[in-house]
């Protein structure tokens, strides 16, 4: 097992990024590695980091501006080879269909509920690790 899992967190709102970090903690489940967070506040930064590689899971804020996480998710699923799983943060449960449209692997509502979020994040880390697409980061 790799020493840590790198989780990219995209939101223009620093409070949302903090909610994600606090909800996941250092290790979202006992059977997954500790997480290292890579925070991005702009769509450009997300694409730049994904191009660098080494991302295990992306957490994208569907409510972010000027570009929401749903559009970014759809874009990276089309453009990034072996795109990491995406956990989408949505504004309300009724937006789940938009998460499906965006091709997100999972979705949770805002504000972040720690138990639900940690379980969803851990599940995506497990999927990424079992795919054999464990990324390495320089």
- What CATH number should be reported for the domain holding residue 26? 3.40.50.2300
Query: Looking at the 3D structure of the chain, how many domains does it have?
Result: 1
Coil, strand, or helix at residue 56? coil
Residue 137 lies in a domain: no
Nearest alpha-carbon partner for 75 in 105, 110, 102? 102
Residue 35 lies in a domain: yes
Residue 136 lies in a domain: no
pTM of the model: 0.93
Alpha carbon distance 83, 1 (integer Å) = 20
Residue 108 lies in a domain: yes
Nearest alpha-carbon partner for 73 in 53, 89, 92? 89
Low-confidence residues in the chain, pLDDT < 70: 1-2, 132-138
| 100 within 8 A of 77, measured Cβ to Cβ | no
Residue 57 lies in a domain: yes
Residue 50 lies in a domain: yes
Residue 120 lies in a domain: yes
Tell me what pLDDT residue 1 has. 45
Tell me what pLDDT residue 81 has. 92
Tell me what pLDDT residue 37 has. 98
Look up the domain containing 82 and give its range.
5-130
């Amino acid at each position: 097992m790799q020493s840590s899992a790198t989780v990219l967190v995209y939101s223009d709102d620093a409070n949302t990024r903090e909610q994600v970090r606090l909800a996941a903690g250092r290790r979202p489940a006992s059977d997954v590695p500790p997480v290292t967070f890579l925070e991005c506040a702009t769509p450009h930064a997300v694409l730049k980091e994904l191009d660098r590689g080494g991302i295990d899971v992306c957490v994208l804020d569907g409510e972010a501006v000027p570009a929401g996480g749903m559009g970014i998710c759809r874009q990276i699923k089309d453009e990034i080879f072996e795109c990491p799983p995406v956990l989408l943060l949505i504004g309300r449960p009724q937006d789940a269909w938009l998460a499906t449209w965006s091709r997100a692997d999972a979705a949770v509502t805002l504000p972040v509920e720690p138990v639900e979020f940690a379980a969803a994040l851990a599940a995506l880390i497990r999927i990424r690790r079992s795919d054999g697409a464990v990324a390495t980061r320089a």
